Every structure is written in C-alpha cells, then in structure tokens.
Structure 1
Amino acid sequence: MKPAPTATRPAPRRASRWVPGNHFELLENGEEFFPAVFEAIRSARHEVLLETFILFDDKIGRALHAALLQAAQQGVQVHVLVDGFGSPDLPPEFIAALVQAGVHYRVFDPGGRRLFGQRLNVLRRMHRKIVVVDGQLAFIGGINYSADHVADFGPQAKQDWAVRVRGPIVAHIQRFARCAVLPRGDERRRKLRAPLPELAHAGMADAIFVTRDNDLHTTDIERHYRIALRIARQRVVIANAYFFPGWRLVRAMRRAARRGVQVTLILQGEPDMPIVKTAASLLYDHLLRAGVRIFEYCERPLHGKVALVDGEWATVGSSNLDPLSLSLNLEANVIIRDAGFNARLHARLARLMREACTQVQAQPKGAFEGLRLLRGYLLYHLMRWFPTWAGWLPRHQPHISLVQPEAGHAGSTTR
C-alpha cells in the first residue's frame, strides 16, 4: 500500500473559555482504559474518530482492530489517524482488513527515508491520543494502543492515565478531531464553522480542551501550566514521564514553592530511555534548593502526563514537559476544574508516592560546588532559549495519507 499525501490544514479554534457541565472519569493504565474504549467503539452507532501516536500489531492492537472492524461492519463511519513515526511497522494485512471493511485509515507524515537504518522523520510528530464516539463520548490521555500499557507485559509495563469524558466539551473535541481526519470536501468538515451542538450537561466539571501545534497554538498547553502555577496557593502535584521544561515553567515552579506552595514532582526512576532520567536529573539541584519535592517512580516506567493544583484544577493529556512536546509535537490535553476529580487524581498520585516512589534529597555543598554552579549557569541558558532553538530545527509541512482499497484488495489511491 502506498498512501498518497495530502497537506494538512490548521485546525479550528478550540474552546478558550471554561465549558461547564462535564463529567470526567479517571482511567489508570491499560487495565481500565482499553476495555472502556473498545466497548465504546463496539457500541458506536454513527461515528468513531480515533487518533493515536502508537498502534502496534500485538494483543492490544489486535483487540482495537477487532473493535474497529465490528463498528465499520455495522455501518459506523470509522476514521483512524496514526502517526507515521510512532506506528511504522504494521503488517499490510492488518491495515488492509480495516480499509476493506470501510475504515478510513490515515497516516500522519509517514516518511520513509532511513540513514544507516535510522528513521529521519523524528521531529514534529502527531503525539495526540483521542477517541470520540458518536459525538457523545470522548477519551483523551497518554495511553497508546500497545501491550506495554498493561501489567502482564512485565517490568517494562508503563504507568499512565487517561479520562473518559461526557458533556458539552465533547463537541469541542469532536470538531477538532474531525478537522484532523476528514478530507476537505467532506460535508461534515464544511460545517466545522457552524455553532457547536448543545450537548446535555453530564456533571459539574468545567473544562477546556487545549492543544499544541506548530501554527497558531504553539504554547497553549505550557501557558495553562504556568497560569495554574501562578495561582496555586496550597499544593501542586505534577506526574510527567519526560521532564525537561523551559525556563519559564521551571521558574513558575520555583516561585510557587518559595511562596509556600507544596510543589511535588513525580518523575521517572526506572526510565524506558536512560537519557530521560539523565536530562531530568540535571534540574534536580535547581528545583530542590527552591523547596520543590521530587519523587522518582521506581516500580516500572512512568508514562503519565497529569497534574493537579490546589483542590479543583487538573489536567490529563498527551503532552510531556520536554522540548519535543512543548515545542515540536502535536499534543492535546483537557484542563479540568472539579473538586471531585481533583481529589480522585490526588488519591491515586498520593498512593503512588507512598507505595512505589523514592524521594530525592538535595545534595550537600561539597568540593565541587563551583562545578555545580557552572552547570546550573549553563543549564539556565540552555533552558531559557530552547523554545527559540527548537524553532530552528527542521520544519516541514506535514501531510496526511489516506489508504484506500483497490479493486479486490487494499492498495493505494489519492484523497
């Protein structure tokens, strides 16, 4: 199959104000997430929109495959968008079965060139994880469709979270996802500028759907983090897998801690990539001396991207706090204002710190204090300017390729 390229277009504006009347259910790890998503897809009546960075041909990928096939065979319009870097090696028959059943299967910026066996299309990836079913139910978080998100995978199984969403904010997520996956001539895409439907209130949570792109919304997710840190009065808990934020975000954490807010970070202690822990540890001294608490999760690799502030604010999504997520990749988070959800997330994170984390202690001053200060100075300037130098990295116009069946078998065509 040789999917044909189609240039991407900017997405419509997202909700910039709080949308009331939503209900959020926290889903921890694949054991809670996958059954909920697969059942929602199997129960769909009209439309399934799914975006993911990773889809593998393993027991989880095949379970998703079966649910998508069932929905398509029942006449549901099914649209799937996967990232070309994150999901590069799916067997042709895996994709062909979906396409022949009527699934609209698209690949974000496939790329194919390799240098010494290494793929070159690593930058500016589609890192979002979104599902919208019938415009009534949505899922968003950090969990990919792979077996390493369930505990029986072993010591390398990932710790992560997502949310199941009902209420008016789902219409905002649906509009965004439709713009991402539907072709330009589709009637539903032409109606994207129409007023959003009035969905019934499903709960008491206010919410904002916020994304990051390389066009109009380059810093939206980071900006919401900084705002929340500025208004924090009691506690901040951030659990994030890949942690090397820019200076403005680190400065906001330090300032919050210095004014008496208990700022707590949960980071990787058993990383899936060693460089992740090395990069984060470069910031430890700087943060600890400002009063920030740091815990390393040591049970298995941490893959989560969640945070909470005080007793109401929380966020769950796909965005890490590192240069890739904050300056290059396409990401999506929900910002939630709800005391009940905040309390449930805090209870999960507190249990994690209590049962599976080691607290990092500040190192006393010693003979190499001068080297420590020099490292801090160099790190300060690296972090201060990384949004600028990230913009110098190779920039291209990504495209989305649609795979369609040829006569009798899955082949290639244009959109």
Structure 2
Amino acid sequence: MNVAVEHIATDQPPDDAKARDLDYGWQSGNQIELLENGEAYFPKVFEAMRAAQREILLETFILFEDKVGFELKDILIEAAQRGVTVVASLDGFGCGELSVAFLRELAEAGVAVQMFDPASKTLGIRTNWFRRLHRKIVVVDAAVAFIGGINFSADHLGDFGPEAKQDYAVQIVGPAVADLHHFALAQSGRQVRTRRGWRRRQQRPALWATSEGDGLVRLIYRDNVQHRDDIEEAYIHALSKARTRAVIANAYFFPGYRLLREIRNAARRGVHVQLIMQGQPDVLLAKLAARMLYDYLLKDGVVIHEYCQRPLHGKVALVDDDWSTVGSSNLDPLSLALNLEANVLIRDRAFNQQLYESLEALARNHCQTMPEKRKPRLWLWRLTVGFLVFHVMRHFPVLTGWLPAHKPRLKPIESPAHDV
C-alpha cells in the first residue's frame, strides 16, 4: 500500500501568488478564549475536530507519536472516514521522527499529509534546521479557529513532569475565522475560493485598530517574501503607543535593536514594562543570549522575571488594557528573520485582563525577579562570552542566508519506505 505524503519545499505555496501577498485587516465581533497549556487546549481542539462536518485544516511544527499525537491521529482518521476533508501540514524538522506506519494510517484513511521541507539524516543528524514551518493553526469548518504556540505533543501537559511546557493559545469564533481559514487554505496549496465573509484587502491595514469596541482580531504572519517584518513591526508599534503597562512573555528572547529600544523607551516614559523569560530553559543558549540584554534593559526600569517552575514556551504579550497578541513567533532571530510564523493581534479588554491576570500570577508565584543592580561576577569572562554570543546571534540570519534558498515546488511522494 502506497503512502502519499506531499513534500512542500517552499517558503510559500506556488499556486496562489495573490493569496500569499495579502494583508488581513481588523475584524470585529469575535469571541476570543485564552487557552493555557495543553490541559485547556487539547480538549477544545479535539472537541471541534470530532464535531467537524466538512473540513479540518491543521498546521503544526511538532507532532509526536505519544498520547497526544495518537489521539490526534485517531480523530483525523475518523473525520476523514466520515467524509471530512482533512489537510495536515507538518514541518519536516519538527515532525521528522514520525514513522512511516504512523503516516501510512493517516494517508490510507484519506488524510492529506504534507511535510514542509523534509530531509533525510546525514550521519544520523538532521540538517534542515532553518526556515521552518513554525506556525500552529487549526481551522475547523471555517467556523472555529485555534492559533498559538502549542504543538501536538504530550510535553504540553502537566503530567509530563518537570519538562512540561508553559504555553498559550486562543480559540476564535467570529468573522476573523474567515481570514484564518483563507490563510490556512492558501498556505496548504489548496484551491482558495472566495467565500462570503472574506474579502481581499487591497491596502495594508493599520497595525492599530481605529474602531471602538471589543472582539477585534487581526491575523498577521511572517514569511520570507512580502511579510518579513510584520510581527516585529506590530510589537514595535504597540510598544510605541503604550501608556500604562506592557507585559511580554516569550520563550526565546533576543530581538533586534529597534524592538529593544522601543521596550526601553516605553519604560523610560513611565510605562510599567515586565518581561517574563525562561529561567529553566530547554535550550541553554537561549537563556544565555537573553541574559546578555538584561543590563541594557534593567538600567532603564524594565522589570525582568525568569520563570523557574518549568520551561516557558509561550509567545504572548499585552499593552495597556486592550491590546494583546498570541501566536507562534518568538522574539529571536529564528522567528523574526527565518521561520514561517503567525500571530493574532487582539483588541479586547476582557481578554487583555484575563491574559494579564494569568501572566501576573505566573510572575508573582513562579518567577524570580532580576535585581535592578546586579553584582558583577567574573566580569571579563561575561564580557567576552557576551560579546561573542551577541554578535553570533545578531548576524545569525545573514549567515544562514548563505545557504541555498528553497525553490517553490509541491512534490508528491508515493513510497511507503521513504524516510520522512
């Protein structure tokens, strides 16, 4: 029996050039629910999938063969067997360890499995490290959408143990789902049909919604074509308008100078700026890199917390009492300059307050706060290592740019023994 697994080796699908250059505007009248960790996220997503009648579109960076991955597989198979169109777009690096048997079960049931930029191991090591499909999006029946930082793996559940991740996503019901649906269709390479409730935006919409009211949502994304800086610009713009408070919780924090300067400037003009970083990192270099920036931020009044209970995997932020963002994008060179990412911007006071209370409890109960004036220790060593780490991280996207660029293509693979 053949396993049909399509390989997507492109930063954007080639079939819909118009769709990939779209800017999605602000949509009002949405219901937004914060989902914290897998305990809240997986039941909601799985419930929506089980109730699907027409279509399930899924993008994820990681899918593991564990209790979460097996449950997802069973749900997708059952949906496909009852006639639901199911498209699962997986990253070739994050999902590179999936077995042929696992993929065969999905394909035989009629699930369209797509692998972004897969590569076989070289000397036992995977080489496809950069320009990853890092988005986490689920859209069911074009009626409900989920977006955030949570992958389909058991390490997003508390019972996984000390290495369980702290993370966030949102469920959206309302007009903004049409944009997420259109985007997911376009990125999957499927035919995009203009549906009622979706309209093309001819001009780039404002980063800051001008209309009044709650439930405003805008989809933003990062690609390597027309939207390289959209997520970073959204952060910069929001912080430039901050008046009272700003909270950023981000797992991998090493932004460019413009964003760092806007964080510092907000604190200088009296905004209460809090950063929540990894204190128990799953990648040690990420913690070391972030700490290179502490002195620069602390001296201007930025409050820095390190979350120490378990690894922080969140990518969320809020400004003042109504602006928030949730998505897949870290604030580091990989997410801001290489990966394919997607966030939603939200203007909703109730959601902003809910997110603020969650992050405030995290900072108060499970974080250590960095002292404003830290005692210098091993000063020369820290200076030397800091200099090297800073410049390697800062120029990392340029260095990876020397690697061969992906050529847009969709390549169907029909070999059950193919290593994916």
Determine if the TM-score, normalized by the shorter chain, exceeds 0.5. Answer: yes
How many angstroms does 1:370 deviate by?
8.0
Q: Which moved more, 1:128-137 or 1:12-21?
A: 12-21
Given candidates 35, 38, 51, the residue that maps to 1:27 is: 35
How many angstroms does 1:400 deviate by?
4.7
Which residue does the alignment assign to 1:139?
Answer: 146
Can you give the 5+ residue segments of structure 1 that lack an aligned partner in the other structure? Answer: none
For 1:293, the aligned partner's letter is V
Q: What are the superposed Cα offsets for residues 226-277 of structure 1, whole Å, 9 maximum, x if unpaired? A: 0001000111100000111111111110111111111110000001111111
Q: Does 2:173 correspond to 1:166? A: yes
Cα distance in 1 between the residues matched to 2:196 and 2:224: 26
For 2:169, the aligned partner's letter is A
Cα distance in 1 between the residues matched to 2:274 and 2:181: 33
Cα distance in 2 between the residues matched to 1:355 and 1:155: 16
Cα distance in 2 between the residues matched to 1:279 and 1:394: 27
Which residue does the alignment assign to 1:180?
Answer: 187
For 1:282, the aligned partner's letter is M
- Residue 30 of structure 2: SS of its match in structure 1? strand
Can you give the 5+ residue segments of structure 2 that lack an aligned partner in the other structure? Answer: 200-212
For 2:356, the aligned partner's letter is H
- Residue 20 of structure 1: SS of its match in structure 2? coil
Q: What are the superposed Cα offsets for residues 321-347 of structure 1, whole Å, 9 maximum, x if unpaired? A: 000000000000000000000000001
Cα distance in 1 between the residues matched to 2:326 and 2:79: 27
Q: Does 2:120 correspond to 1:112? A: yes
Q: What are the superposed Cα offsets for residues 37-91 of structure 1, whole Å, 9 maximum, x if unpaired? A: 0110010000000000000110000010111111111110000000000001112
Given candidates 68, 81, 89, the residue that maps to 1:81 is: 89
Is the Cα–Cα contact under 8 Å of residues 165 and 310 in structure 2 kept in the other structure?
A: yes
User: Identity of paired residues, percent?
Assistant: 51
Cα distance in 1 between the residues matched to 2:155 and 2:170: 19
- CA RMSD, Structure 1 to Structure 2 (Å): 2.5
How many angstroms does 1:13 deviate by?
3.7
1:45-124 equivalent positions in 2, closer than 5 A: 45-114=53-122, 116-124=123-131
Size of the aligned set, in residue pairs, is: 397
Is the Cα–Cα contact under 8 Å of residues 147 and 326 in structure 2 kept in the other structure?
A: yes
Aligned pair in 2 of structure 1 residues 292, 103: CA closer, same or farther (>3 Å)? Answer: same
For 1:347, the aligned partner's letter is E
Given candidates 370, 394, 400, the residue that maps to 1:360 is: 370
Q: What are the superposed Cα offsets for residues 278-333 of structure 1, whole Å, 9 maximum, x if unpaired? A: 11111111111121110000000000000000000000000000000000000000
Aligned pair in 2 of structure 1 residues 89, 381: CA closer, same or farther (>3 Å)? Answer: closer
Which residue does the alignment assign to 1:313?
Answer: 323
Is the Cα–Cα contact under 8 Å of residues 327 and 390 in structure 1 kept in the other structure?
A: no
Q: Does 2:253 correspond to 1:243? A: yes
Which residue does the alignment assign to 2:272?
Answer: 262
Q: What are the superposed Cα offsets for residues 371-405 of structure 1, whole Å, 9 maximum, x if unpaired? A: 8788888777767766655544543236555456x
For 1:292, the aligned partner's letter is V
Cα distance in 2 between the residues matched to 1:56 and 1:110: 16
How many angstroms does 1:153 deviate by?
0.4
Is the Cα–Cα contact under 8 Å of residues 130 and 400 in structure 2 kept in the other structure?
A: no
Cα distance in 1 between the residues matched to 2:197 and 2:259: 33
- Residue 166 of structure 2: SS of its match in structure 1? coil
Is the Cα–Cα contact under 8 Å of residues 7 and 116 in structure 2 kept in the other structure?
A: no
